[in-house]
Amino acid sequence: MEAFSLLLYGFKLALLPINLLYCFTGVFVGTLIGVLPGIGPSATIALLLPATFKINPVSAIIMLAGICYGAMYGGSTTSILLNIPGEPASVVTCLDGYKMARQGRAGPALGISAMGSFIAGTISIFALIFVAPTIASLAIRLGPPEYFSLMIMGMIVVTFLAKGSMAKALIMMSFGLFLGSIGTDPITAKVRFTYHMRDLSEGITLVPVVMGLFGVSEVLVNIGAAIKKDIFEGKIAGLYPSKEDWKKSSMPIARGTFIGLILGSLPGVGSIIPQFIAYVVEKKLSKHPEKFGSGAIEGVASPEACNNSAVVGQFIPLLSLGIPSTGYGALIMGALMIYGLQPGPLLIKDHPDLFWGVVSSMYLGNIMLLVLNLPLIPLWVKILKIPYSYLYSLILLFCVIGSYSYNNNISDVIVMIVFSILGYIFKKYDYEGAPLVLALVLGPLLETALRRSLLISKGSFMIFITHPLSASFLFISLLLLIIPLFIKRINARGLGEEG
């Protein structure tokens, strides 16, 4: 009963006109970003972060969260109409969605995508309501050793599930930890790693780093890559799926929701892996697997439900443990810290207005997206025809203004330029930016937990082993580091025997 009374309190906050406005802004911008290939929610949050510093933290997080799940809705539009995933998590939707559009069934594909996303989002939000506070209440009992080991495990999981090489992800994580240590020592207050540069005494600021790493570098990469716009020009009719479509899609939507929620709540999994798993599961369970890849509506319904439930699931570790599982999750966590809110188990207890206001706004945002998306599809199609050169010029302008306005300091613009170049190099050589940002955000918290643990144990590292929960987290981390080595050796042995 307490959860429902707190949920009502959250709806009172979410239904305030100002919060409704920010929720609408978030989902609208998120949908637009999802429609436009090559930008993504991480770059968008990085661009808009400076604009949120003067508004209420609850309103700001409502808007930033709206961008995240709004992008998933918008990504399906380009997948179905262009065969280009506007958001990487919508890549699986291309397989059957675009084929349905070519068969004159773009309307049902878009309709089942929007409605399946709404159903999945609604179920996942209620799961978030009950699961996150329970996890947070248990996590409050964790001491500095357990919290340190938990953060280590979270970062290792992210590197283990990285899209590319795990070694590259570990390098990026290590670089992020180093960047997080620049500035003033949290215990002794001594200045370190500043190399006599006064502007670095307060540390590396998150805003210019993410703007360069995600915003400007994305522009630099896409300038040289011509995106072919083969836009579907046929008439889009019959947006509401037929009874037969619903019959085929109901169970795939349910299974996709479950897969996305469970896997999305695991740190580091993200939205792409659950989508592929949901698609494969439906193909395996189907009586006609040969239809997948040639316009099966189940191949649209399940992945689209999955990616929306995965996004909501990603807020479970973020809001209950203070461990982001994606790049944009790390940005939202960084925003909380900038607003003076300490992410972690005490966030829900100390700031119930933030948690319950944001969760309630997610449900309202899902309703807004359902109402917005289908009628506005002709508008999204027109926006897709805008030359990217205009969009990229605006992104560059926003990045420079946003970086400078944070501290009114030109050094932040220089930091942004440096990380723009680094981000471009990282993308060219397949180094992911998410582990770096995650380590940059978690680094100071990780160091504080480490130092407190050593103060408690009088300098003995055995405190991390003698505490059972801490030892368990470290053991899991060690396993995740060792497993790829065994896999590599087994594969090498198999190739050797074949040769």
Overall number of domains in the chain: 1
Task: Supply the pLDDT for residue 425.
Answer: 92
Task: Supply the pLDDT for residue 239.
Answer: 67
Task: Supply the pLDDT for residue 86.
Answer: 59
pLDDT tens digits, 25-58? 998 888 887 777 656 677 778 777 777 878 889 9
pLDDT band for 175, please (50, 70, 90 cuts). very high
pLDDT tens digits, 263-293? 777 765 666 678 777 888 888 888 878 788 7
The residues near 9 (Cβ < 8 Å, ≥ 6 apart) are 352, 353, 356
Task: Supply the pLDDT for residue 18.
Answer: 93
pLDDT tens digits, 67-116? 888 887 777 777 777 666 656 566 678 778 878 887 878 788 888 888 88
pLDDT tens digits, 354-374? 889 988 998 898 888 888 777
Q: Poorest-confidence range of 8-17, 262-271, 327-336, 418-427?
A: 262-271
Q: What is the mean pLDDT of the chain?
A: 80
pLDDT band for 163, please (50, 70, 90 cuts). low
* Mean pLDDT across 451-479: 90
Task: Supply the pLDDT for residue 465.
Answer: 92
pLDDT tens digits, 326-351? 777 878 888 888 888 877 778 888 88
Residues above pLDDT 70, as percent of the chain: 88
Task: Supply the pLDDT for residue 45.
Answer: 80
Answer whether residue 23 shows pLDDT above 90: yes
Range of the domain at 203: 2-498
* Mean pLDDT across 481-487: 79
Task: Supply the pLDDT for residue 224.
Answer: 60
Range picked from 58-72, 149-163, 434-448 for highest mean pLDDT? 58-72
Task: Supply the pLDDT for residue 421.
Answer: 92
DSSP annotation of 86 reads: S
pLDDT band for 229, please (50, 70, 90 cuts). low
Q: Where is pLDDT greater, at 381 or 459?
A: 459
Task: Supply the pLDDT for residue 463.
Answer: 92
Q: Where is pLDDT greater, at 229 or 23?
A: 23
